[in-house]
Amino acid sequence: VRSTPPQHCFKTRASGLMPRPADPYPINAEPQKRVAVIGSGIAGLTAAHLLSRRYHVTLIEREEVLGMDAHSKTSHNARMDIPLRVFSESYYPNLCRLYRSIGVAFGTADYSFSLVDDCRGGGAYFRYVNLLVRGLALPLPSPTLLLAPQRLPRYLRLAYQFGRFLRSSPAQVALPGMGDLCLEDFLAANGYAQAFGPDLLYPMLSVVCTCSYASVRTYPAALIVDYFAGKYGLSGAQCRAHEGTREAVAKLAQPVARRVTGATVREVRPSQAGGRPHVEWSSGGGADGATSHREAFDEVVVATQVSAARRLLRPAAEASEGADREVYDALGSFRCERFRVLLHTDASLMPARRRDWSPLNLVVSPTGSAASVTVWMNAIDEKLRQSLSAPVFQTWNPVTEPRPEAVEADVAFERPIVDPAAVRAMGKLARCQGRGSLWLVGSYVRCSMPLLENGVTSAIEVAKRLGVDVSDIEYVESRQAKPQPAGGRLVWWAVAAALAVAAVLAAASR
C-alpha cells in the first residue's frame, strides 16, 4: 500500500547549434511559442522533449554534451553511467512510461547489497541475495552466513526490524501526528530497535539519497515510508537501461528544435509588465573570446540544480520585491550536499573477503559522516557482465582512496536535501510556478524523494500546465484505496522465510 505524504506535501504523480531533425509530433497551426529549457538532466530533457510537441524549444546546456550523459565513460569494452542510474517499475512509473514511449529498452538489475562494519574487521554483517520471481526481487539470506555463524544474531535482528518496517510503517505513518515526524523521531515513536537506523536503514538511505547520516535522520518519515512501500510493495526489482543514458539522451533530445551546448548561462530575467522573459548566456571562450547572447522567449524552464537556479535568478530578485524575490528566497531554503563518485579498477575498496562481495557493497565507518558504497559493475546485470573485460568498480564517497593509477573518472555531484525547511519551500515554489513565464523543474521541486522520478514528474506537470497533451506518458494513480498488492505480501513472506532460514542456519552452526 502506498502511504500518504503529509498534507503540506503536494503530490501528483552552447558551443554549437544543431538543426532540428524531423519532428514526429504534430504542431498546432497557431504561431509557435519559443521556450527555453536550461539544463539537460532528466528533468530538462523530459521538459524539452514534451514541450517540443507543441513549441519551438531551445535546450541550453553548460557541458559540451547533453547533461545526463556528460560524465558517462566507455571503459573496458562497456559504456557506464556515472553515477549508475537504476530505477524500479513501482516507484518510477513516469520514467518507465517515458522510456517505453521513446523506445529505450531496460531490464532487471541485481541491486542486492552487503553491509560491512569497518570498525569490526571488515566482515559483512548483513548480506542478502535476490531471487527473481515473476518480476519481483525476493531477498534471501546469503549462503555465506554459514561461514560466519557469529554474525547471524545481528543479521536476524536487523532482518526482523526491516521486515517489520516494510509491513507496518505504512499504517503507522497514517496515524495522527506521525506523518509530520522526521525519520529518526518516527523510528523512536514506533519502538524500532535502536540499532536498526544506524546499522541498516540510515546507510541504505544515505546511498539512495546520496546524503549524510545527519540529513537522513531529518528526512520526512512519510517520504521514506512511501519510497519503501512503493519500491518493495509492488516490485523490489531494480532496472537499468540496457544502453545506459546515452540512448535515452539521444532519443529525448531528438525532437528538440535547437540545442546549445557549452553555454554558461549568466542570468534569467522573468517577464515584467507584459514583457517576455530573457536568458543571457555566453558560449565559446577560445582564442577569440566568449560570445555573449541575450534572447527573449515566451516561456523559460529552469532545469538546473537548485543552487544554480538560485544563482541565475539572483539579479532579477535583487531588483524586485515581488514573485521574483519569493522564488529566490524559497530556493535559498534548500540545503545541498556534495559527494564524489569514482570509476576505478582497485578491488581493495571491496570487502576483504571475496565471498562477501555483492553488487553493492556498503561500508559503515564509525568516523564517517555518510555511508560509502562500491558498486561491482560486472555484477549489476547480464549486459555489463558480458561486456566488461575486467573487474570495474564505481565508488561513492570513498572511505579510502583507490590507487591513483586505477582511477578512470572522479566526478563530484551535488544533491538537494529534503527537510522541513525544504518542504515549506516546495509549497512556495508550487504557488509561484509560471509567474513571469518562469518554470522550475527538477528532483527538488516536488515533495517526494529527490530521485529521477521526481525530475520526470515535475517536467510532466509543467508541460501539462503549458497545454501539452502528456496522457501517453503520465501515470495516474487511482485515488481509491487498494489492498496491498501480491508483490508486497510476497516480499513480506520472503523476509519471513529469510529469517526462518537464517534461524535454522544459526541453530545448525552451534
77 lies in a domain? no
Residue with cell 496515524: 175
pLDDT at 365: 85
Q: Please tell me the least confidently modeled range out of 201-215, 244-258, 428-442, 489-503.
A: 489-503
Integer angstrom CA distances of residue 367 from 196, 370, 399: 18, 9, 10
474 lies in a domain? no
The average pLDDT across 277-306 equals 89
Which residue range(s) make up the domain with 223? 107-242+337-415+489-508
What is the three-class DSSP state of 8?
A: coil
Q: Please tell me the least confidently modeled range out of 24-33, 132-141, 453-462.
A: 24-33
Question: Pick the residue with more confidence: 122 or 83?
Answer: 83
What is the tally of structural domains in the chain? Answer: 1
Question: Pick the residue with more confidence: 141 or 397?
Answer: 397
27 lies in a domain? no
pLDDT at 152: 85
pLDDT at 494: 52
What are the start-end ranges of the H helices in 257-341? 306-318, 323-331
314 lies in a domain? no
Q: pLDDT-derived band of residue 272, with 50, 70 and 90 as boundaries?
A: confident
Instruction: Report the half-sphere exposure of 108 (CA within 13 A, side-chain side).
Output: 14
Q: pLDDT-derived band of residue 273, with 50, 70 and 90 as boundaries?
A: confident
pLDDT > 70? residue 485: no
Buried-state track 163-191, b at ≥16 Cβ within 10 A, e below 16: bbbbbebbebbeeeebbbbbbbebbeebe
49 lies in a domain? no
Question: Nine-digit cell at 182?
Answer: 522526521
Verify cis geometry, omega within 30 degrees of 0, for the bond prior to 139.
Answer: no
pLDDT at 23: 40
d(CA 316, CA 17): 27
What is the 8-class DSSP label of residue 276?
Answer: -
Domain CATH number, residue 378: 3.90.660
Contact 105, 382 (CB under 8 A): no
371 lies in a domain? yes
Closest CA to 231 of 491, 38, 408, 496: 491
pLDDT > 70? residue 262: yes
pLDDT at 121: 58
DSSP per residue over 136-187, as a string? EEEEEE-GGGGG-GGGHHHHHHHHHHHHHHHHHHHHHHTSTTGGGSBHHHHH
Verify cis geometry, omega within 30 degrees of 0, for the bond prior to 83.
Answer: yes
User: Taking all residues of the chain, what is their mean pLDDT, rounded to a whole number?
Assistant: 86
What is the three-class DSSP state of 12?
A: coil
Counting beta carbons within 10 angstroms of the beta carbon of residue 346, is it exposed (0 to 12), middle (13 to 18) or buried (19 or more)? buried
pLDDT tens-digit map of 323-359: 678 999 999 999 999 999 999 999 999 998 888 899 9
pLDDT > 70? residue 413: yes
pLDDT at 323: 63
374 lies in a domain? yes
190 lies in a domain? yes
pLDDT > 60? residue 417: yes
Residue with cell 519503501: 228
d(CA 373, CA 362): 4
Residue with cell 523530459: 46
